[in-house]
């Protein structure tokens, strides 16, 4: 295919990339090419809000990265590899970062008040109104109710209340943490990915636009650079030239592309054999939520087949973070037929940081992810606290915990050992090409006039809540940063 050249090429049709490309293209004044390594898919694994099938290792719609969580514990980490990205395969938990996250990051132009209009612009909240919610955005947001409320959910929320945790009926209101239903980007059992919400047919359900070209199954290999300017991207389907390049390949894909373009730490690039273009801490110092699943038996009826799994959450302060540094998330559906239900216990504001590196100059070789989880006693202490609180909730609810046994739960050393053996990640990696460290507040990579990153890589740290809603906000905000603000009617 001859490359016609575009005003903007966006790499990665994920949570942020679809929002950015869709919003830019709807203005009609510039040509936009959206490049995605994965295919378009309407499999039930993608469209059914209840399905987490595409998160399984080996599923063709996810990238499977080998990752080390702690010394001796390797896991496979999924990420969406499909038009819609991780928003097309994830748990549909759609909760905003809290005001304190933005205050901690202290990036000019990225305060909670600055970004609130973009959260609002992204959504149509079908339950909640008022100043903080959007009513006319492309992503429909709902909380479990009626037949989509799993029978176990009120039991969980009653246990939270019995233990004295405050209710948090609207987790997107920016208030203090507590127990409440989880807003999700799912309506009547259908997962609303960002492809569905922001892209026109045949990719999604947004209005037709002429200025957008979507190229699925085209993988970017590196950014084409000349001095301090990006000229386009090299891909598996040839060179795509553009006046502006935006990487929205996610918090693994974008730093991977930057490293293969020669932008990163000098020792990493030298060791991989990639010529250095600019020394920046790409892939360094990111964070993610370490988590473990506490299994329990549910003797009651199963949820409706359309109900989302992640129905309700308790967000709470471990003792040093009033904005809530722990989360206990109810999974109201077993991972396999007839299996246990789970409480996911997660540390939402970890001190430990990870590294993403490359060891070869081959851009098709996967990066290495070293999470370095639970390096500090404060992190270990808080994750133990989350597990014990979850166990208490089960006790109060009269539900049988399947693991760990009491003699493990009651002893710090044994509980640390149990946690280490079952440790997993929430797959919320953020901060691998962070605002301040790698990109400026307008998302430009330091030293490059027309190369930007717009996805969860840029968040300075993983927010205290899951990042899916924040990824979409970044895409919305990036569109205004590239093209200037538009008047909205949310
Ligand atoms: C299994 C799973 C479950 C999750 N559940 C939740 C949840 O319920 N709630 C929540 O808040 N968060 C959840 N998350 C995290 C959240 O979904 C992600 O953090 C967020 O969607 C990331 O958005 P993004 O735009 O940064 O990247 P993505 O949405 O991952 O998009 C990146 C896109 O770039 C493409 N890409 C990558 N490299 C290239 C390349 N070289 N060339 C072309 N295309 C490329 C990818 O295929 C992908 O489509 C989950 C994540 C996963 C993987």
- For 151-177, the three-class secondary structure string (H helix, E strand, C coil) is CHHHHHHHHHHHCCCCECCCCCCCCCC
**Ligand 1 pocket, CB under 6 A:** 11-17, 35-38, 55, 78-81, 85-87, 89-93, 219-220, 248-251, 253, 257, 310, 427-428, 455-456, 466-468, 471
Buried b (16+ CB within 10 A) or exposed e, 278-287: bebbbbbbbb
CATH number, domain of 232, equals 3.50.50.60
Residues 60 and 203 in one domain: yes
Same domain, 342 and 443: no
Pocket test of ligand 1: the residue of 14, 181, 252 to mutate, having most ligand atoms within 8 Å of its CB, is: 14
109 and 249 together in one domain: yes
Last residue of a domain, one of 382, 407, 422: 422
| 167 and 34 belong to one structural domain | no
pLDDT of res. 2 = 53
Query: Residues 223, 327: one domain?
Result: no
Domain-embedded: residue 316? yes
Residue 89 lies in a domain: yes
196, two tokens: 């569905």
The Å distance, Cα 84 to ligand 1 centre, comes to 8
pLDDT tens, residue order, the chain (490 aa): 457 799 999 999 999 999 999 999 999 999 999 999 999 999 999 999 999 999 998 999 999 999 999 999 999 999 999 999 999 999 999 999 999 999 999 999 999 999 999 999 999 999 998 899 999 999 999 999 999 999 999 999 999 999 999 999 999 999 999 999 999 999 889 999 999 999 999 999 999 999 999 999 999 999 999 999 999 999 999 999 999 999 999 999 999 999 999 999 999 999 999 999 999 999 999 999 999 999 999 999 999 999 999 999 999 999 999 999 999 999 999 998 899 999 999 999 999 999 999 999 999 999 999 999 999 999 999 999 999 999 999 999 999 999 999 999 999 999 999 999 999 999 999 999 999 999 999 999 999 999 999 999 999 999 999 999 999 999 999 999 999 877 554 4
Residues 162 and 206 both lie in one domain: no
Query: 252 CA distance to ligand 1 centroid (A)?
Result: 9
DSSP string covering 170-204: -TTS-----EEEPPBSEETTEE--HHHHHSPTTT-
pLDDT of residue 487: 57
Number of domains present in the structure of the chain: 2
Quick check: is 355 in a domain? no
CATH number at residue 314: 3.30.410.40
Tell me the CA–centroid distance for residue 433 and ligand 1, in Å.
Answer: 15
**What tokens were used for 266?**
């000098």
- Catalytic residues, by residue number, are 428
pLDDT of 490 reads 46
Backbone phi, then psi, for 361, in 5-degree steps?
-85, 0
What is the domain range of residue 389?
145-181+290-349+374-422
User: Which pLDDT belongs to residue 188?
Assistant: 86
Q: 330-358 pLDDT, tens per residue?
A: 999 999 889 999 999 999 999 999 999 99
d(CA 15, ligand 1 centre) in Å: 6
Same domain, 174 and 189: no
């Amino acid at each position: 295919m001859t490359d016609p050249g575009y005003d903007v090429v966006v790499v990665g049709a994920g949570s942020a990339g679809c929002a950015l490309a869709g919003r830019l293209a709807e203005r009609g004044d510039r040509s936009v090419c959206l490049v995605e390594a994965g295919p378009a898919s309407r499999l039930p694994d993608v469209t059914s809000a209840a399905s987490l099938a595409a998160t399984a290792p080996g599923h063709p719609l996810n990238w499977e990265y080998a990752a080390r969580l702690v010394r001796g514990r390797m896991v496979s980490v999924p990420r969406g590899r499909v038009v819609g990205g991780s928003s097309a395969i994830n748990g549909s938990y759609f909760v905003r970062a809290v005001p304190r996250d933005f205050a901690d990051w202290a990036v000019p132009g990225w305060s909670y008040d600055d970004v609130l209009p973009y959260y609002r612009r992204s959504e149509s909240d079908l339950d909640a109104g008022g100043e903080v919610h959007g009513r006319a955005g492309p992503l429909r947001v709902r909380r479990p109710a009626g037949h989509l409320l799993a029978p176990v959910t009120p039991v969980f929320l009653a246990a939270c209340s019995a233990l004295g945790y405050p209710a948090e009926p609207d987790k997107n209101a920016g208030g203090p943490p507590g127990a409440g239903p989880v807003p999700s980007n799912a309506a009547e059992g259908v997962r609303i990915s960002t492809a569905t919400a922001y892209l026109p047919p045949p990719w999604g359900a947004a209005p037709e636009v002429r200025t957008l070209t979507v190229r699925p199954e085209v993988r970017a290999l590196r950014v084409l650079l000349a001095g301090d300017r990006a000229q386009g991207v090299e891909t598996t389907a040839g060179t795509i030239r553009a006046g502006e390049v935006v990487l929205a390949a996610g918090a693994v894909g974008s730093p991977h592309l930057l490293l293969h373009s020669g932008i990163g730490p000098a020792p990493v690039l030298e060791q991989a054999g990639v010529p250095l273009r600019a020394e920046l801490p790409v892939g360094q110092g990111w964070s993610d939520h370490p988590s473990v699943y506490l299994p329990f038996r549910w003797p009651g009826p199963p949820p409706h087949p359309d109900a989302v799994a992640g129905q309700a959450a308790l967000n709470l302060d471990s003792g040093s973070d009033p904005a809530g540094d722990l989360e206990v998330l109810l999974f109201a559906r077993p991972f396999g037929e007839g299996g246990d239900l789970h409480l996911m216990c997660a540390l939402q504001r970890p001190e430990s940081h990870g590294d993403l590196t490359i060891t070869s100059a081959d851009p098709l070789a996967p990066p290495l992810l070293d999470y370095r989880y639970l390096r500090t006693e404060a992190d270990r202490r808080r994750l133990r606290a989350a597990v014990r609180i979850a166990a208490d909730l089960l006790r109060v609810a009269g539900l049988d915990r399947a693991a760990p046994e009491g003699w493990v739960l009651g002893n710090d050393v044994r509980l640390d050992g149990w946690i280490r053996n079952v440790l997993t990640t929430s797959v919320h990696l953020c901060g691998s090409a962070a605002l301040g460290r790698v990109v400026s507040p307008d998302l430009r990579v330091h030293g490059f006039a027309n190369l930007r990153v717009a996805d969860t890589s840029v968040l300075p740290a993983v927010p205290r809540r899951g990042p899916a809603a924040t990824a979409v906000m970044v895409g919305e905000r990036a569109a205004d940063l590239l093209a200037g603000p538009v008047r909205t009617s949310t």
